[in-house]
Amino acid sequence: MPTLADVGKAAGVSRGTVSNVFNRPELVRPELRQRVEAAARALGFGGPDPKGRLLRHGKFNSIGFMPPGAYAIADVMRSPYGRELVLGVSLACDEAGVTLSLVNGTDNTRIASIREALVDGFILGHSADIGLITSAQRRRLPFVILESDAGPDINSIKIDGRSGAVAAVRHLTGLGHRHFAILSVRRTSGPPIVHMPGQAKRPLLAGFSLDDERLDGFRQGLTEANLSIDDVPIIETTPGDPSAGAMVFDCVPEATAILTMSDWQAITILDEAVRRGIDVPGHVSVIGFDGTAESARTTPPMTTVAQDVIGKGRLAARMILDNAAPRQIVLPVELVVRASTAAPRAKIR
């Protein structure tokens, strides 16, 4: 690979002049410029190597997006939520002329990935893995953490998940529902976990306050209607688990309303309902979370706790690009009522 110096030698000029030909051509006499360009062409030199420039300037012009917890970038792309989030981030990146790096990393390589990533800042998916945070802090790069409880000196953005969860339950109890099932998220890999009433519940998972907060919202909503979350079966599946729907219908046939943690999960349930010929919302109501575009196009269109996912991604990118003082932002949610929820079926089934 020829370098600036090689081209300079070939054209009988200095390194600096060749650099000027490529970066500030107006500074160099036309005749000389052409000679240099000819030499460059002859050597197959395709312009200054970005590596050098990078080292000089110290800017990558890139922000990194790191998926949460145990997920790979591929999982992010599979999830409606993840896609909209990346879309939002990419929107801000497009505007700023900055590259978006999807930084992957398995549990054990993730910290190294943060240490090595060629980016000027990070967006960390929803897991306040303390290791990740300290790793990001060490790099002294701006970063934002999503959907996690982070300290006051850390950029963070989250939605008001608790209120959303409360609103979801209120909507359903308002319709008359008394028999619920909750489809929650398993944050480690493995098969679904079923918590039936009476059994001990999953301990709070450090770092995934997101789930705990929503669960707590469900609890509160149920309490308001004189119901107890302890009587509600909770099923945990990994986010993309296609068997989630089957698990719910098999384990909690008596439920007339199913609360979920994401549109993705709710879609799984809707798909399974179609497969089994179960009528939604006639036989069972289903409520999603996130309000992604997909939720509007399911059959039937889904009732969901909507947030502005794209806006969130965009905001996260902007926070990094602006690199201002750390802020903790809580975004509102809104219950969007569509056709996947209705009054419960008559008791006689």
Partner DNA sequence: ACAAATTCTTGGAGCGCTCCAAAAAATGGG
Partner DNA sequence: CCCATTTTTTGGAGCGCTCCAAGAATTTGT
Q: Find, among 61, 58, 83, 88, the residue nearest to 73 by Cα.
A: 83
Tell me: does residue 1 bind a copy of itself (CB under 8 A).
yes
Amino acid at 119: V
Supply the minimum distance, in Å, between the C-beta of residue 302 and a copy of itself: 12
* 46-54, 168-176, 209-217, 276-284 -> range binding a copy of itself (CB under 8 A): 46-54
Distance CA 347, CA 74 (A): 43
- Tell me the number of residues near a copy of itself by CB under 8 A: 52
Beta-carbon count within 10 A of 104 CB: 17
Residue 138 or 201 having the CB closest to a copy of itself: 138
Q: Which residues lie below 8 Å from residue 327, measured CB to CB, with a gap of 6+?
A: 155, 156, 319
273-291 burial, b at 16+ Cβ within 10 Å, e below that, comes to beeeebebbebbbbbbbbb
Q: Are 102 and 118 in contact (CB under 8 A)?
A: no
C-alpha distances in Å from residue 311, one per residue of 48, 238, 288, 290, 297: 37, 25, 19, 12, 20
Tell me: does residue 139 bind DNA (CB under 7 A).
no
Tell me: does residue 271 bind DNA (CB under 7 A).
no
Distance CA 76, CA 80 (A): 8
Distance CA 254, CA 256 (A): 6
With CB under 7 A as the contact rule, the residue among 34, 42, 53, 334 that binds DNA is 53
Amino acid at 307: Q
Supply the minimum distance, in Å, between the C-beta of residue 2 and a copy of itself: 10
38 binds, among a copy of itself, DNA, none (CB under 5 to 8 A by kind): none
Supply the minimum distance, in Å, between the C-beta of residue 324 and DNA: 23
With CB under 7 A as the contact rule, the residue among 34, 38, 39, 57 that binds DNA is 57
Q: Name the packing angle between helices 15-23 and 4-11 (round to 10°).
A: 110
Distance CA 46, CA 316 (A): 35
Supply the minimum distance, in Å, between the C-beta of residue 71 and a copy of itself: 10
Tell me: does residue 76 bind DNA (CB under 7 A).
no
Supply the minimum distance, in Å, between the C-beta of residue 59 and DNA: 11
What would the two tokens of residue 219 be?
Answer: 């609890």
The C-alpha angle 50, 53, 55, rounded to 5 degrees, equals: 110
Tell me: does residue 42 bind a copy of itself (CB under 8 A).
no
17 binds, among a copy of itself, DNA, none (CB under 5 to 8 A by kind): DNA
Supply the minimum distance, in Å, between the C-beta of residue 70 and DNA: 28
Tell me: does residue 135 bind DNA (CB under 7 A).
no
Tell me: does residue 83 bind a copy of itself (CB under 8 A).
yes
Tell me: does residue 104 bind a copy of itself (CB under 8 A).
yes
Tell me: does residue 36 bind a copy of itself (CB under 8 A).
no
Binding site for DNA (CB under 7 A): 1, 3-5, 8, 12-17, 19-20, 22-23, 27-29, 32, 48-49, 51-53, 55-58
Binding site for a copy of itself (CB under 8 A): 1, 44, 46-47, 50-55, 58, 60-62, 64, 72-74, 76-78, 83, 86-87, 90-91, 93-94, 97-104, 109, 113, 115-118, 135, 137-140, 267, 271, 297-299
